Every structure is written in structure tokens, then in C-alpha cells.
């Protein structure tokens, strides 16, 4: 009896499997065969929005550590024809700009996939550095492009301290360890050293633009690398971008109406954590640093009218 029961159960299982295979065959038959043979081209869309690097000691912006996974996923999609970067950034850290740019270019060459950059409101300073990761750069006529330079921003409180009767006590080992301390009178030698560092970074920026825009630049280096910024329309005339256009329109022109734009998810840090406000009872210093960071970020955007 047990053997007969086993055969009966096996027969029932085979019947169910047969029904399942029949349903699968019916589903496959309904699929467009042409689409299976010729899947639509895919363009991965990676959004780079915000200040590059850290703003203050607690607020994180665009960094390689935060984007590495998303960049890998962008270049790992099936049927991938291109990677599109959508950029909206007033700049920031030269180091993080270079690291992100380098990772994108390394994978583009490894996978032999073209990269297109599309700027939105702003691609200035470090934002333009990121845009140069694209084999071609597109912008809106009214986008802000350029600011190929290096800037240092700080404050000096020496006069305020005098009025309040406050004395600064700084003890350091190393002749220049306290260089550019905002509570000490500015030293011309320290300023010269800072300018020398800025010049080196500026030179790296210029070399990158020369290399990535080789044969396309249409103005003198004195004009292009002065730190000035322009609208997208003027940037096209100067050779800093390749065309006026938006992501959807340009990608359809290049890869056809069937192209699929696939956004790449970027891990986000909760706003409270980004401001360093981990709990309602966070230390006042954390709230203060978060507020300062937000102000600094706002100033960077405001420089370009946003």
C-alpha cells in the first residue's frame, strides 16, 4: 500500500509540473520574440548632486566612499550602452572631485562604455571637474559652467578678540603648525605658502581640462582658467561643453526610441545624521556645527545665483 501511495503522489507531482511547464510555455509564447533577440539598449543614470566632499566637520557631500558602490552598479548593468552622469554641483573638494572622476574613467575604459555628462543648474569648479569624466558634456542654455580655479575661504577674528579682551593661546611644535589660524593676525609668508598650494591644485585642474577637452577648447587659457563661469550657451562657444540638450532627448537621438534610462540608487544618509544631529538631545556643539555647515553650503550655491 505504501508503494502505491508513493506512485500516486509522484503521479500527482508530475501532473502539477506538467501544468506549470505548460503555463510557462504559454507566457513565453506571448513575449515578443524580437525583443528577446534584440533587447532594448540600457543607459545607466548616475546623479551627482550637491557639494563635493565635506562641508564642515559633520556634513557629508559627494565623496568616492559614498559613491563607489553606485558607480560599480552603473557599469555593471546588462545590455549597457552608456553611463550618463547628471550633475548639479557648485564644487567643493578637489581631492574628492579627482577621486570620483578617476573611478568613473577607470571603469569606462575597463568596460569600454562611453560616458555622457549632463549638467543641470550648476557644474562649476569641482562640479565641472566631475563633468569632465564624460566623453561628451551637455548642458541647458542657462546652466552655469566653469569656474576652473581654486579658492580658499576663511574668517579672521583678531579685531573682535581685541574688543572683547580675549587673548589667543596657541602652542605648537613646528614652525608653521599654526598657519592661517583665524584667531591670529595674518602672516604674509603663510599667505604665500597657501597661494603656492592653490597654484599646484589649479595646475592639476588645468591639466585635466586640457586632456579631457583636447582639440575642443576655443578660447585662450587666460580666459578659460581664470575662475570665471558662464552660461551653457557661452560655454558651448568656448568649447567647455559639446552641446545643448537634456538627458532623455540626447540619449534617444544616440540609441533610439527604445532606449531605457535606468537610474542608479545612491545610498543616502539621513538628514539628521548628515547634520550631526543624531538625537534630539545632541550636544549644542553638534547643532552649531550642523548650522555652520548648512550656511557654508548655502554660500557656495549662492555664488552662482542659486
pLDDT tens by residue, 144-162: 999 997 765 555 556 666 6
Beta strand 136-139 pairing with 243-244: parallel
- At 271 the pLDDT is 46
CB 93 within 8 A of CB 129: no
The CA distance from 306 to 298, in Å, is 8
pLDDT tens by residue, 110-142: 999 999 999 999 999 999 999 999 999 999 999
- At 140 the pLDDT is 97
Residue 124, H or E segment: strand 115-124
- At 273 the pLDDT is 46
Beta strand 80-89 pairing with 42-49: parallel
- At 84 the pLDDT is 98
The three state secondary structure string of 192-248 is HHHHHHHHHHHHHHHHHHHHHCCCCCCCCHHHHCCCCEEEHHHHHHHCCCCEECCHH
The CA distance from 97 to 46, in Å, is 15
- At 277 the pLDDT is 47
- At 181 the pLDDT is 63
| Beta-bridge mates of residue 249 | none
The CA distance from 260 to 137, in Å, is 20
Residues 6+ positions from 225 with CB-CB distance below 8 Å: 148, 149, 202, 205, 206, 209
The CA distance from 62 to 93, in Å, is 9
| The CATH number of the domain covering residues in 36-302 | 3.90.226.10
Q: How far is CA 78 from CA 48, 73, 161, in A?
A: 22, 10, 62
Residue numbers in the chain where pLDDT is lower than 50 = 270-279
The CA distance from 144 to 166, in Å, is 43
3-class SS at 6? Answer: helix
**Where do the domains of the chain lie?**
2-30, 36-302
Amino acid at each position: 500500500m505504501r508503494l502505491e501511495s508513493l506512485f500516486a503522489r509522484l503521479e500527482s507531482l508530475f501532473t502539477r509540473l506538467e501544468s506549470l511547464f505548460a503555463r510557462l510555455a504559454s507566457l513565453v509564447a506571448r513575449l515578443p520574440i524580437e525583443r528577446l533577440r534584440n533587447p532594448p539598449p540600457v543607459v545607466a543614470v548616475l546623479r551627482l548632486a550637491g557639494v563635493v566632499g565635506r562641508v564642515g566637520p559633520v556634513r557629508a557631500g559627494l565623496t568616492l566612499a559614498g559613491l563607489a558602490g553606485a558607480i560599480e552598479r552603473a557599469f555593471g548593468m546588462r545590455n549597457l550602452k552608456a553611463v550618463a552622469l547628471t550633475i548639479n554641483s557648485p564644487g567643493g573638494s578637489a581631492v574628492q572631485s579627482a577621486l570620483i572622476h578617476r573611478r568613473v574613467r577607470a571603469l569606462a575604459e575597463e568596460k569600454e562604455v562611453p560616458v555622457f555628462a549632463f549638467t543641470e543648474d550648476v557644474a562649476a569648479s569641482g562640479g565641472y571637474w566631475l563633468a569632465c569624466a564624460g566623453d561628451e558634456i551637455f548642458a541647458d542654455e542657462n546652466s552655469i559652467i566653469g569656474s576652473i580655479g581654486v579658492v580658499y575661504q576663511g574668517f579672521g577674528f583678531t579685531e573682535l578678540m581685541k574688543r572683547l579682551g580675549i587673548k589667543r593661546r596657541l602652542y605648537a611644535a613646528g614652525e608653521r603648525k599654526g598657519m592661517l589660524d583665524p584667531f591670529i593676525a595674518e602672516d604674509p609668508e603663510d599667505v604665500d605658502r597657501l597661494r603656492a598650494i592653490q597654484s599646484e591644485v589649479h595646475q592639476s585642474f588645468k591639466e585635466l581640462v586640457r586632456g579631457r577637452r583636447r582639440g575642443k577648447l576655443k578660447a585662450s587659457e587666460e580666459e578659460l582658467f581664470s575662475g570665471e563661469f558662464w552660461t551653457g550657451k557661452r560655454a558651448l562657444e568656448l568649447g567647455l561643453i559639446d552641446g545643448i540638450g537634456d538627458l532623455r532627448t540626447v540619449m534617444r537621438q544616440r540609441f533610439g526610441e527604445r532606449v531605457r534610462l535606468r537610474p542608479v540608487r545612491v545610498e543616502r544618509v539621513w538628514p539628521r545624521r548628515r547634520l550631526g544631529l543624531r538625537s534630539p538631545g545632541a550636544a549644542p556643539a553638534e547643532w552649531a556645527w550642523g548650522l555652520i555647515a548648512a550656511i557654508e553650503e548655502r554660500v557656495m550655491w549662492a555664488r552662482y545665483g542659486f
